[in-house]
Structures are given as structure tokens and as C-alpha cells.
Structure 1
């Protein structure tokens, strides 16, 4: 597939999936793995892209994509983007299991912050009912939700989307 077509399709898919394009992130408080609570607003809307990944250490696709998310975070965290993980239980979609998440993070040397939640909390963050994991929400540097990506993501896809995203396309997608 020609690179320009791939970029166009990627942009269409991601922005179209947002449905509520340019939605503000709600101020949801989630617990970290040390028992401290953090507002989502601590991570979103501070001049960098924020990719919020909903995952579980018992979800095979989540485990497979985690190294790419970590590489993306390490490459971009000091410049233009960051990753935030929200772990939930799988397959129940109930509250994440702290011991499993902590063991996974240590074993795989994950560098981005991890918070715990459940289907309801993750749905509030993404502005729409969470149906599957992994799911990644794309928040623009100004804090607005611009895309949802259900399923596995690769580092290259994340980088392509951030490079080609154009806010002008939001009006068109809102009409679809």
C-alpha cells in the first residue's frame, strides 16, 4: 500500500472512531499502583499528545502491544507525546488487579504511568462505552479527545497519526 494511502486511511480510521471529536476529557480520579489518586487532568492537555491505553496484564493483545507503547513513550515523553496506561481486569472489565499489574510493569520495565480502573471509569475517560481492550484514546495537546483506536497499536502507527493529524478534518468527521 502506498505510504500516502496508508496515512490517509489511518487518519480516517482514528479520527472517525472518535465520533465525539474534540470532546473534553472528563475530570476522573483514578488510583495508581501505590494507592494514590490522580486526576486525568494531571496527564492530559499540557501541550503534548497524551495516549491513554486501556489494557490488562491478562489480555494477550494488550501484552503484545505494550513494548511498542513503551518505546513510543520513551522516544516522545520529553518532546511531544506521552502514554498513560489504565489497567482493568480482563475478561470481567472490573477494577484492575494491583498485584498482576505491578508484577507486569516490573518484569517488562514499563516506563509510563499506570492507573487502575474498571469499564465504567475507562468509559468516562474515553467519552464512550468501552467495549474491548486494548483501546487507546488520543488526546490532542490542548486536551481534547480526537480519536479512539480499539485493538492493538504499533509505535509506527502512533507516530504517523500524530504527524498527519489535522484539526480541520474534525468538522467533516463530526458530520458523518
Structure 2
């Protein structure tokens, strides 16, 4: 077999290994690991905010996520810190300072990028980034940048109405 064919086969096999799964690892603050897929599709809307403790925009907009969670108890809100397990102390300090009462997980930019690329064909741009799933676990939006509580509520209301109108009448 020629070297070119061998290189091509190796490249294709490596591509299959790298991109065959969307199960990117996230760590809970207690050290347990979960995947994105385990967190969504439980009959509730899910809003994830990807943030970092050293992100000024995350710090400036954190109150919007806190407000959204307080006024939308029917929505699962999850924070994903890019401080990774090595920056757990920084993440915990940020969580306390911002008054986050929702679940927060630890990850890193490469894991989030891999997940977004395999599920939405989008690259991770930066923090904050909001990821929104419908109650069935379908990813509906990836929005980099600051988002207000009102923007999130309006998006979910609009999508809920669209899904209801798309259902056949009984």
C-alpha cells in the first residue's frame, strides 16, 4: 500500500475518533463528570451560560442570568465555567460573588468548542455564550455576548409558541 493511501486511511480513522461523539466532558463542582446530553431534554427548557471568572463581560452581565433564573423557575439554568478543574477556586469565588444559585459546572474552551462544532457546526467564540435547548433537548440557539433576562424570556416564549402552532390539532 502506498504511503499516501496509508496516510489517508490514518487521517480518516483519526477524524472518526475525534468527531464521532458529542459527549464532551463537564465536571460538577463535586468532581463528578456529566455530558451536555445528560443535562438537557428533561421536559424543561434549558439555558446554559458559558462564562469565565476572569471575563469582564461575564461579570457585568451575570445579574441578567440571576434575574432570568429568579423569574423563570420552569427553566433549567446551568452555568459552565471555563476555569476548568484547575481553576475551581476561582470559579467558586465568582459563583459566590455573583449570587449564582443555579447549577454550575467546570469545563474548558476546547471541550466547549468541540461540543458546539459537533452539534451546531459553530465554533466557540468567547464568553459569555448562551446555549438554549427546548424541552426535548434540541439545541435551538448559540448566542455569544451579553444577553438580558428579557431577551432570554422573549426567545423562549417565541419558540414555545412556534412549537405549539407546529403541532397537529387534536
Give the equivalent residue in structure 1 for 2:94: 104
* Structure 2, unaligned runs of 5 or more: 1-20, 165-170
Cα deviation digits, residues 100-156 of structure 1 (max 9, x gap): 110111223211111111112112333332122111111111101111111001000
Deviation at 1:28, TM superposition (A): 2.7
Q: By percentage of residues, which structure has more helix?
A: 2
Query: What is the alpha-carbon root mean square deviation over aligned residues?
Result: 2.2
3-state SS of the aligned residue for 2:154? helix
3-state SS of 2:34 partner: strand
User: Which structure's CA Rg is the greater one?
Assistant: 2
1:146 correspondence with 2:140: yes
Give the stretch that moved more between structures: 126-135 or 54-63.
126-135
Matches within 5 A, 1:147-162: 147-162=141-156
Q: TM-score when scaled to structure 2?
A: 0.73
Q: Which residues of structure 1 form unaligned runs of 5+?
A: 1-24, 169-176
Alignment match, 1:30: 26
Conservation of the 8 A alpha-carbon contact between 1:53 and 1:135? yes
1:60 is displaced (CA, Å) by: 0.8
The aligned length equals 138
1:48 equivalent in structure 2: 44
* 1:118 partnered with 2:108: yes
Q: TM-score, normalised by structure 1?
A: 0.70
| Aligned with 2:76 (options 79, 82, 87) | 82
Mapped to 2, the partners of 1:133 and 1:96 lie a distance apart of: 18
